[in-house]
């Protein structure tokens, strides 16, 4: 899979993409991530990427030209499955969206800033808008990093034990059951006996019942058939 990210703060991706599972996926060649600095596509003398909003109002607006030039160049090189704009106006990210996007070959992700992007970018290029929650971030970069992480970890071959992504919370509309590691007894706080019993069938039953119990308590909405 190839992901092209358009941003005015390329360095913001150094850390999230330089560690752990995303780093491993890149090293294995399963995902290639290219970060494009929108400023490099500005045709103005001072490399501007934003300007005042027509009609007034607080805040600057990201200009269409540099974004359009960057997207046009990428589109001339390959076909993209989606051109995503990270925005609080978008559809709310969930596991099923992440699973779906993980099957794509080529994605563009545009990160906005200031008061947003010129509406004509949306009209001409954006095929999908995604939000990571009902709150406003200073820009789309952190949201794009969250989206990429959620997509990349479910691509087959990224995790060593393939079942480990499938057993994540939300993969079956259930939260995960509690997990424990050594020591079996920490200052009197004991790991449930069943997990030490070696009885695989009973352990699986226990995990499922704990997952159901936790989901019913914390996220009963996940158990309803409405969606
Ligand atoms: N940009 C600013 N806020 C955002 C959010 N909540 N989700 C996605 N992109 C954003």
pLDDT tens-digit series, residues 171-196: 889 999 999 999 999 999 999 999 99
Query: Given ligand 1 and candidates 7, 85, 132, 133, which is best to mutate, with the most ligand atoms within 8 Å of its CB?
Result: 132
Confidence of residue 91 (pLDDT cuts 50, 70, 90): very high
Structure confidence by residue, pLDDT tens digits, 70-89: 999 999 999 999 999 999 99
Whether the per-residue pLDDT at 22 is higher than 90: the answer is yes
Ligand 1 binding pocket includes 49 (Cβ within 6 Å): no
Domain with CATH 3.40.1280.10 in the chain: 2-152
Name the DSSP letter for residue 179: -
CA distances, 128 to each of 4, 170, 218 (Å): 15, 22, 30
- Whole-angstrom Cα Rg for the chain: 22
CA-closest candidate to residue 50, choices 63, 32, 59: 63
Whether the per-residue pLDDT at 9 is higher than 90: the answer is yes
Identify the residue with better confidence: 172 or 104. Answer: 104
**Entry pTM:** 0.94
Structure confidence by residue, pLDDT tens digits, 205-226: 999 999 999 999 999 999 987 6
Whether the per-residue pLDDT at 166 is higher than 80: the answer is no
Return the CATH number of the domain spanning residue range 2-152. Answer: 3.40.1280.10
Q: What pLDDT, on the 0 to 100 scale, is given for residue 155?
A: 95
Distance (angstroms) between ligand 1 centre and the Cα of 132 equals: 6
Kindly state which CATH superfamily the domain 172-222 is placed in: tRNA(m1g37)methyltransferase, domain 2 (1.10.1270.20)
Burial class (CB in 10 A: 0-12, 13-18, 19+), 194: middle
Per DSSP (E only), the strands in the chain are: 2-7, 32-37, 50-52, 60-62, 82-92, 106-111, 128-131, 185-186, 189-190
| Ligand 1: nearest atom to the Cα of 133 | 6
Whether the per-residue pLDDT at 200 is higher than 90: the answer is yes
| Ligand 1: nearest atom to the Cα of 86 | 9
Q: What pLDDT, on the 0 to 100 scale, is given for residue 153?
A: 96
Domain with CATH 1.10.1270.20 in the chain: 172-222
CA distance 172 to 166: 8
Name the residue at shortest CA distance from atom 10 of ligand 1.
87
Q: What pLDDT, on the 0 to 100 scale, is given for residue 162?
A: 58
Whether the per-residue pLDDT at 170 is higher than 90: the answer is no
CA distances, 217 to each of 174, 196, 213, 223 (Å): 11, 26, 6, 10
Virtual CA dihedral for 92, 129, 21, 169, nearest 10 degrees? 20
Query: Given ligand 1 and candidates 6, 126, 142, 143, which is best to mutate, with the most ligand atoms within 8 Å of its CB?
Result: 143
Structure confidence by residue, pLDDT tens digits, 143-154: 999 999 999 999
Distance (angstroms) between ligand 1 centre and the Cα of 182 equals: 39
């Amino acid at each position: 899979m190839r992901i092209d990210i358009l941003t005015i703060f390329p360095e913001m991706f150094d850390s999230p993409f330089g560690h752990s599972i995303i780093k491993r996926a890149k090293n294995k060649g399963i995902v290639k991530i290219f970060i494009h600095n929108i400023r490099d596509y500005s045709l103005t003398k001072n490399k501007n990427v934003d300007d005042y909003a027509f009609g007034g109002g607080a805040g600057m607006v990201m200009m269409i030209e540099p974004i359009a030039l960057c997207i046009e160049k990428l589109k001339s090189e390959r076909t993209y499955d989606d051109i995503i704009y990270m925005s609080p106006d978008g559809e709310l990210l969930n596991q099923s969206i992440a699973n779906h996007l993980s099957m794509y070959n080529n994605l563009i992700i545009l990160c906005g800033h200031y008061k947003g992007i010129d509406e004509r970018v949306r009209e001409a290029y954006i095929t999908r808008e995604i939000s990571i929650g009902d709150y406003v971030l200073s820009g789309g970069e952190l949201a794009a990093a969250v989206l990429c992480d959620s997509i990349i970890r479910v691509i087959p071959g990224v995790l060593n034990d393939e079942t480990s992504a499938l057993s994540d919370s939300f993969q079956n509309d259930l939260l995960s059951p509690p997990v424990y590691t050594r020591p079996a007894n920490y200052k009197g706080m004991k790991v449930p006996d069943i997990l030490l019993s070696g009885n695989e069938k009973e352990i699986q039953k226990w995990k499922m019942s704990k997952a159901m119990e936790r989901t019913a308590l914390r996220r009963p909405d996940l158990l309803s058939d409405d969606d």
